[in-house]
A and B are shown apart, each in its own frame.
Chain A
Amino acid sequence: MAGSALRRLMAEYKQLTLNPPEGIIAGPINEENFFEWEALITGPEGTCFEGGIFPAKLVFPPDYPLSPPKMQFICEMFHPNIYSDGRVCISILHAPGDDPMGYESSAERWSPVQSVEKILLSVVSMLAEPNDESGANVDAAKMWREDRDQFNKIAERLVRKTLGLPPP
């Protein structure tokens, strides 16, 4: 089981290395454990997260790609679809069986044809366009709706933080 997961992860790693999508880097930090990756995602241009480099951890199950990996940002995040501990709430990361929010159609959920690249691209578009209906972080969702300036300020601080710059 783990053997086929490993082969597929290796293939994905190779593809992501040779043809990386713009502003995205992902791979196992330590190849002793090929089932734990780190990804860097660049905040999409024209959004409040522009310019930030957001690190995230991807943990793959032994039966990958039958089950989705888990993704968690390891930097501070403030976003309607990211839990305060950094876990990402997007539908393609949900296994076909479980539906924590109770509104997704199975078509949006995980399938083995998804890949790390697709997940990361989805996360980039999630950063650009939060879905304020699924409240992984209710405060962020509320602020996004009602006080966009404040939200942008927080995002700006986070961006500076990920770049290792002191807050303005």
Chain B
Amino acid sequence: MPVTLVDRLPLPNLKVYTAGSVSLLSIAVYYALSVTSDPNWRTNVTLGRQDAMEQGNEERLLPAPALSGSRNASEQFVDVLTFMMQEPLCMWTLINIAYCSLAVFGFGVQRLVFGQLRVAEAQRVKDKFWNYVFYKFIFVFGVINVQYMDEVLLWCSWFTLVGFLHLLGQLCKDRYEYLSSSPNTGGWAHVRLACLLGGILAAATALLGAAAAWGLPAGRDTFAFMAAECILVLVAVLHVAARYVLQLYEADAAGPAAYYTHLVFDSVSLVVELLHVLHMVVYSNMLVSMASLVLLMQLRHLLHELQARVRRHRLYTELATHMSRNYPMASKEEVEKNQDNCAICWEPMKEARKLPCSHLFHNSCLCQWVQQDASCPTCRRALAAAGAARPHSDAAQRHPNHLFHFDGSRYVSWLPSFSVEVTRVRPEAALAGAQLDAAAAQLQLMFPQYSRAALATDLARTRSADLTLDNILEGRLPELADMVPPEPVIPSVAAPEPTPAPAAPAAAPAPGGVPAPGGVPAAVRVDVATATASSAGPFAAGSSSPPEPEAAPGVRFSGTAEEREALLARRKEALLSAARRRYLERLASLPPATSPAAPAPQAPPPC
């Protein structure tokens, strides 16, 4: 897998790279300055270079003597620039600094709009990036077959810009999905995202204009290649924007308006990409080459996707007609008479569809459910088989990865073997969080010396339990010093503020260290009579605070997320300590023989 391979390369981080680039640039500028400080530097450089300079620079037309005396700053700047453009090493430095500033710009945008990237987002961007680089490499060297360095440079800079927009668009999409699935996001997050979407839209349009301006003179094919990329970015960004608009109008997520919007965007982007790849295959005009092999595989994948989309659409229309024919919309009186909310989404119904068993549901809720199971959600009465085939299985279809395997040693012993796996960025990847957690938990059971966090980080990187296992076995994963107790004995996370836990004093006369969350063995040996706030354990905090009625924290549903989280944690702790107390009371009421180890609990505290 190229991604894991690249992950292990010691790539410098952005700071080091920027510092390096800037120092390289300053060296180059210093060199250029020292060369151009000689007024006759133009005559010193070779004739050939002067020819090259003639094309780009009319400044040469200026009379040379004027330069010698009092050159002002701008003239000197132009001189330096001219020199740097001619000198290959300086030229590369300039290109490097351009990339560097693009990276810094991207980093700035990311910090400004997205803040810290989530693991899934970062992973997706990384995947997309390497996929993109791979395919563009194929394009430049396999399809276009460029011969000259400057052509390569032009294409590279073009793809850098387009790829940059692609990645930003992908980030926007991921972030939009995240924001819309999180209950407490501020309006600002949405405003920033919308601004970025507008920016990408403008930039992509500008690039399309550039493609028309520079691509068209170079031939229709070049223009088509350039334009297709821009259109793909535009479509992706517009799709996210359209989803925003739909959300703004509170459109029903499964209603026809939303469905057809998605359909149009999906199919446009698929068709454009398909044509683009097809064009490349035809243009490259060599059917038997590595490049066309890659392209054909991509083509196959795209066709597959398109087919699946069409099939899904057919099922959707079938289902829609089936529903409207067999389950009529409920009349107004029926809806009014029915006081209940829709049993599927728990929201009130303004209009509803009625099943033969006279249960009412939202049209879209019912439509989504019937796709899974042809029965009434409430009474489980079987419905006439809707469209028979289930689109459900369709959605579960796996997107095949492209895997190229080259086993060189089969031919010549010294040839290397390698496989390249190109992962399509899959929509299911969003689910990685939960699975990743489960895998981390399992690995931790096997290797308790690693913390869950360390395992999760490595899993997020490798995205495969096997690879992480390899890393552990080969000692590539650093052991963490702070060991987390493998068994979360106390499930509650202590509330951030000092918890006025409603537990009665001396909830826990627990002998022996009880691992507190955070791994500190809090010596919770709290004596009933001498309960102090000296120990840091969660029970101790409770034991020093005044007792409260037990049900108190449950009765409020706070408006803010932090408060809700804190309240939940507090309620959990209350439940736990109350249970502990009850348990010990019960134990005390039994004959002492049943509890030899536990010190006989003192008289149960008043509650």
Contact = CB atoms under 8 A, between A and B. Distances in A.
A51 B377 contact: no
A25 B575 contact: yes
A106 B579 CA distance: 37
Interface string B480-512: 000000011111010000000000000010111
B343 A161 contact: no
Interface in A118-168: 159-168
A3 B181 contact: yes
Contacts of B487: 75-76, 161
Contacts of B183: 6, 10, 31, 34
B368 interface: yes
A168 B596 contact: yes
A166 B511 contact: yes
Interface in B572-607: 572, 575-576, 579-580, 582-583, 586, 594-598
Contacts of B392: 97
A42 B579 contact: yes
A158 to B, nearest CB: 11
Contacts of A74: 488, 491
B372 A95 contact: yes
Interface string A62-81: 11011100101011100000
Nearest to A57: B437
A33 B185 CA distance: 12
Interface string B173-208: 000010011111000000000000000000000000
A94 B492 CA distance: 28
Interface string B333-347: 000000000011111
Nearest to A24: B575
Contact of B489 (A42, A113, A161): A161
Interface string A91-112: 0000111000000001100011
A120 to B, nearest CB: 13
B290 interface: no
Contact of A163 (B247, B512, B580): B580
A27 interface: yes
Interface in B329-387: 343-347, 365, 368-369, 372-373, 375, 377-378, 380
B185 to A, nearest CB: 10
Nearest to A20: B554
A21 B555 CA distance: 12
Contact of B343 (A1, A10, A32, A112): A112
Contact of B572 (A40, A66, A85, A106): A40
A73 to B, nearest CB: 10
A17 B554 contact: yes
Nearest to B514: A164
A167 B568 CA distance: 28
Contacts, number: 169
B214 to A, nearest CB: 42
B431 interface: yes
Given A11-B346, A112-B343, A31 B561 contact: yes
B331 to A, nearest CB: 23
B128 interface: no
A29 B488 contact: no
B564 A27 contact: yes
Contacts of A2: 177, 180-181
Contacts of A160: 583
Contacts of B375: 96, 106, 111
B565 interface: yes
B579 A163 contact: yes
Interface in B384-424: 390, 392
A17 B576 contact: no
Interface in B513-542: 514
Contacts of B267: none
A168 B373 CA distance: 49
B430 interface: yes
B148 interface: no
A76 B595 CA distance: 22
B368 A6 contact: no
Contact of B442 (A1, A29, A85, A163): A85
A111 B595 CA distance: 45
Given A32-B182, A75-B491, A168-B597, A4 B345 contact: yes
A112 B343 CA distance: 7
Contacts of B582: 51
Contacts of A10: 183
Contact of B430 (A55, A62, A75, A76): A62
B345 A167 contact: no
Contacts of A76: 487
Contacts of B438: 72
B576 A163 contact: yes
Nearest to B565: A31
A42 to B, nearest CB: 6
B181 A164 contact: no
Contacts of B575: 23, 25, 40, 42, 53
A159 B184 CA distance: 36
B20 interface: no
B249 interface: no
Contacts of A167: 597
B433 interface: yes
A55 B490 CA distance: 9
B434 A59 contact: yes
A126 B424 CA distance: 42
Q: Which 10 A-B pairs have the closest CB atoms?
A: A55-B491, A2-B181, A96-B373, A31-B561, A112-B344, A51-B583, A27-B568, A113-B343, A107-B380, A111-B377
Interface of A: 1-8, 10-14, 17-18, 20, 23, 25, 27-36, 38, 40, 42, 51-53, 55, 59, 61-63, 65-67, 70, 72, 74-76, 85, 95-97, 106-107, 111-113, 159-168
Given A52-B579, A161-B489, 12 more contacts: A3-B181, A4-B345, A23-B575, A29-B565, A31-B565, A36-B437, A42-B575, A66-B368, A67-B372, A111-B380, A113-B344, A168-B595
